[in-house]
């Protein structure tokens, strides 16, 4: 693109100041990513990291769940994340994020990620992005947040466990139908997630996303530190963080789908490939073949990437 | 996540209607992607398509320009694209999109894509997404848009050709310093891009992005049709559209970097691998190795994906 020889001489600099041109008047401005944007980027960097054994990654699709569904999910989640940034209730922002995420044909791509990212964005925008800040965000949730959280399950099929019989009225799959029960019992979103951390036997592997909610996002911050302190391209750091976390902690979704014994065995297999990219690639292919998807581990990694970005990780 | 046995009986349904809870009051709502969101998704689907000979794709990085830089660029461009959607001037929205896109360490990832996507988003939001609608958007640009366009070159290094000596004052690399020349000559953004379509010899390959601006985005709409009418996952359709377009039309960026003869030879090589995914993969590896990046072809494809999404392509 070059120039021209026109010599009309018309002076039109007033154009730049006409009413309604406030965008221009504020330039130059800070064009850094906002918390909502960092959350979207965290979703993208998470799915792009490879190898991430058992999950969709830059190199692998599952049969009906492909990389492009995660790209669409990350973009669709934007409005909900921006509402969290602007101060909307956590439950309301979460429901909107899930509704937007679900506008693709792959099904549930990032429900669990968003359950962590929405309060993290709220903390980054309104509080401090620390354990204390997150504890305040969680403590501030209301019954309305719990109702919105249940409603979010109407937008997309989420793999969940059957509740004990006495808690059947609070099965998340009831969606909006659980609202009156939530109101009658005065349950906030924090209450609902605290109940989800209770294990019903020694053998049960907890819902790690609910655990994050009740522990000031302890593992999220630990993952963020490991990613920030890592070396090499972000995609490689993400893959290492995923394998380390999976090796350390049996995955909740694998336990729900295949039972706790399989979840523990998968963690042992992950531990065995630490530090060996070739073996990690083989494990990734094997778990995809076995239809074993450690989705909850990916949720925590996405949350950790967000915190790392907010704390200065550059891409 | 299950439920609990709490029986506090506190009725808190009023919580849901307290002042400030307007987000909830508007639910359920349409959570479909907006034009700005479809533009971001188009950027992501474009870079994810593979094989895209010579360019970063889902399977290939260049030495200093990696997949993750494109992810960050697509997210960073969001605010500028949303401003276009809300009715900001095309030039102003473009500059903001470029500023946000450039907040990653890979350099220029999507400058050319955004030069097409911003007017397309404006047309989708304010006009009709047709050749006529785009012609009106282009005709409405002002000198202020041209000034903002030049300013956008200050955010990122863009590969451009040296202008003829008599047009040196309008070299885009002058950035803001060209503002007084633009104002003195009364050049709108449409004028600047029309000048960029002029070739200075029979041998010269035009700047196809400028050609889109002056032809009602003719090739963009053609690419959109081919993607919508294609079969298989979107990523495969994108890759086919890229190779078809490259085969059909020597790439402007390749011509700028390596000369028109190389650009024409690359088109012949692309034509030879049409319909042969294995050969296309080999060409992709070869062009990366030769440092030949058909970036302008990718720009048109991204624009075509956007139009396809707006016209109902589902992901």
Say yes or no to pLDDT of A288 above 70: yes
Q: Grade residue B201 by pLDDT with cuts at 50, 70 and 90.
A: low
| pLDDT band with cut points at 50, 70 and 90 for residue B165 | confident
Work out the pLDDT band at A28, boundaries 50, 70, 90.
low
Whole-number average pLDDT of chain B: 90
Measure in Å the smallest separation between the Cα of A62 and chain B Cα atoms. Answer: 13
Question: Looking at the domain assignment, is residue B293 inside a domain?
Answer: yes
Rounded percentage of chain B residues whose pLDDT exceeds 90: 79
Interchain contact, B15 vs A143, CB within 8 Å: yes
Q: Under DSSP, is residue A213 helix (H, G, I), strand (E, B) or coil?
A: helix
> Torsion over CA of B29, B30, B35 and B39, rounded to 10 degrees?
100
Residue B140 confidence (pLDDT): 97
pLDDT of residue B30: 84
Q: Please count the structural domains in chain B.
A: 1
* Partner-chain residue, chosen from A2, A155, A235, that has the shortest CB–CB distance to B196: A2
In a domain, A19, yes or no: no
Per-residue pLDDT reduced to its tens digit, B49-79: 999 999 999 999 998 999 999 999 999 999 9
Q: Is the pLDDT of residue A10 over 60?
A: no
Lowest mean pLDDT among A97-101, A238-242, B24-28, B254-258: B24-28
Q: Could you tell me if residue B12 is inside a domain? A: no
Q: Which residues of A touch B40 (CB under 8 A)?
A: 75, 78
Contact status, residue A207 vs residue A197, Cβ threshold 8 Å: yes
Mean pLDDT of chain A, nearest integer:
90
Mean pLDDT score, A205-229: 97
Contacts of B4 in chain A (CB under 8 A): 167, 170, 185, 187, 191-192, 195
Asked if the model's pLDDT at residue B35 lies above 90, the reply is yes
Q: How far is A20 from chain B (nearest CA, A)?
A: 8
| pLDDT of the residue at A200 | 57
What pLDDT, on a 0 to 100 scale, did the predictor assign at position A76?
98
**ipTM, 2 decimals?**
0.90
pLDDT at B176: 87
Q: Which residue has the higher pLDDT, B124 or A163?
A: B124
CA distance A46 to chain B (A): 10
* Higher-confidence position of B168 and B300: B300
Within a domain: residue B20? no
What is the tens place of the pLDDT at every residue in B235-287? Answer: 999 999 999 999 999 999 999 999 999 999 999 999 999 999 999 999 999 99
- Is residue A2 pLDDT above 70, yes or no? no
Residue B96: domain span: 32-310
A280 in any annotated domain = no
Q: State which residue of chain A sits closest to B315, comparing Cα positions.
A: A104
Query: What's the CA angle centered on B238, arms B283 and B128, to 5 degrees?
Result: 145
- For A166, name the nearest residue in chain B, comparing CA atoms only: B5
User: Which residues from A are below 8 Å from B147, CB to CB?
Assistant: 16
Contact B6 A160 (CB under 8 A): no
- Assign residue B239 the CATH number of its domain: 1.10.4200.10
Chain B partners within 8 Å of A103 (Cβ):
31-33
Q: Nearest CA of chain B to the CA of A274: how many Å?
A: 23
Q: Please check whether residue A270 lies inside any domain of the structure.
A: no
Please check the confidence at residue B10 and state whether its pLDDT lies above 50: no
Q: CA of A249 to nearest chain B CA: how many angstroms apart?
A: 19
Is the separation of the CB atoms in B50 and B58 below 8 Å?
A: yes
Distance CA B307, CA B97 (A): 19
Interface A-B, measured as beta-carbon pairs within 8 A, has a size of: 267
Residue among A1, A6, A148 whose CB faces B196 most closely: A1
Amino acid B162: pLDDT:
80
CB-based contacts of B38: which residues, under 8 Å, 6+ apart?
Answer: B124, B306, B309, B310
What is the average pLDDT across A151-176? 87
- Does residue A147 fall inside a structural domain? yes
Range scoring the smallest mean pLDDT among B44-53, B76-85, B198-207, B255-264: B198-207
Instruction: Indicate whether B208 pLDDT > 90.
Output: yes
Tell me what the mean pLDDT of segment A217-240 comes to: 96
Q: Please tell me the predicted confidence (pLDDT) of residue A169.
A: 86
- Residue B41 — pLDDT band, cuts 50, 70, 90? very high
Confidence class of residue A243 from pLDDT cuts 50, 70 and 90?
Answer: very high
The whole-angstrom distance between A50's CA and the closest CA on chain B is 11
Q: Is the dihedral of CA B307, B310, B313, B314 positive or negative?
A: positive
User: Could you tell me if A109 and A298 are in contact, meaning their C-beta atoms sit under 8 angstroms apart?
Assistant: no
Identify how many contiguous H helices and E strands chain A contains and give both numbers: 17, 0
Q: Please give the Cα distance from A144 to B212 (Å, whole number).
A: 50
**pLDDT number for residue A111:** 98
CB contact under 8 A, A235 and B67: yes
- Indicate yes or no: CB of A75 within 8 angstroms of CB of B6: no
Compare CB distances from A171 to B3, B27, B66 and report the shortest one's residue.
Answer: B3
CATH code assigned at A86: 1.10.4200
Q: What is the pLDDT of residue B58?
A: 96
What's residue B15's pLDDT? 36
pLDDT of residue B164: 77
In order, the DSSP letters of A70-137 are HHHHHHHTHHHHHHHHHT--HHHHHHHHHHHHT-STT--SSHHHHHHHHHHHHHHHHS-SSHHHHHHH
Selecting from B1, B163, B168 the residue whose C-beta is nearest the C-beta of A210 gives B1
- For residue B66, list chain A residues with Cβ-Cβ distance below 8 A: 233, 235
Torsional sign, CA B57, B63, B65, B71: positive
Report CB contact under 8 Å: B3, A95. no
Q: Which of A16, A186, A210 sits opposite B8 (nearest CB)?
A: A186
Tell me what pLDDT residue A201 has: 53
In a domain, B10, yes or no: no
* Percentage of chain A lying above the pLDDT 70 cut: 89
Lowest mean pLDDT among A10-24, A98-112, B146-160: A10-24
Residue of B nearest to A167 (CA): B3
Token digits for A169?
């009225």
Inter-chain CB proximity B31 and A103 less than 8 Å: yes
Cβ–Cβ gap B58/A76 under 8 Å? no
Distance from CA of B281 to the nearest CA of A (A): 15
Check whether A284 has a pLDDT greater than 70. Answer: yes
> Is the pLDDT at A43 greater than 80, yes or no?
yes
Lowest mean pLDDT among A171-185, A242-256, B106-120, B218-232: A171-185
């Amino acid at each position: 693109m070059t120039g021209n020889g026109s010599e009309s001489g018309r002076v039109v600099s007033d154009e730049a100041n006409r009413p309604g041109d406030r965008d221009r008047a504020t330039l130059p401005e800070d064009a850094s990513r906002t918390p909502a944007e960092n959350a979207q980027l965290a979703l993208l960097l998470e799915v792009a990291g490879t190898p991430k054994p058992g999950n969709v990654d830059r190199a692998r699709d599952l049969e009906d769940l492909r990389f492009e569904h995660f790209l669409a999910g990350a973009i669709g989640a934007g409005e909900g994340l921006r509402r969290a940034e602007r101060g909307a209730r956590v439950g309301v922002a979460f429901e909107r994020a899930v509704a937007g995420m679900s506008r693709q044909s792959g099904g549930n791509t990032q429900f669990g990620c968003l359950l962590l990212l929405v309060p993290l964005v709220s903390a980054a925008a309104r509080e401090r992005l620390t354990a204390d800040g997150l504890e305040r965000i969680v403590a501030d949730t209301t019954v309305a947040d719990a109702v919105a959280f249940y409603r979010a399950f109407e937008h997309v099929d989420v793999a969940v466990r059957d509740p004990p019989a006495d808690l059947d009225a609070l099965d998340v799959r009831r969606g909006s139908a659980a609202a009156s029960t939530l109101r009658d019992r005065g349950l906030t979103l924090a209450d609902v997630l605290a109940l989800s951390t209770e294990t019903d036997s020694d053998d049960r592997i907890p819902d790690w996303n609910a655990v994050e909610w009740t522990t000031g996002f302890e593992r999220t911050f630990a993952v963020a530190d490991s990613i920030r302190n890592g070396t090499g391209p972000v995609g490689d750091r993400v893959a290492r963080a995923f394998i380390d976390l999976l090796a350390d902690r049996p995955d909740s979704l694998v336990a729900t789908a295949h039972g706790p014994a399989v979840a523990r065995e998968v963690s042992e297999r992950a531990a065995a490939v630490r530090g060996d990219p070739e073996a990690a690639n083989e494990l990734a292919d094997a778990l995809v073949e076995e239809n074993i998807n450690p989705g909850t581990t990916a949720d925590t990694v996405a949350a950790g990437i967000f915190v790392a970005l907010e704390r200065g990780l550059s891409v």
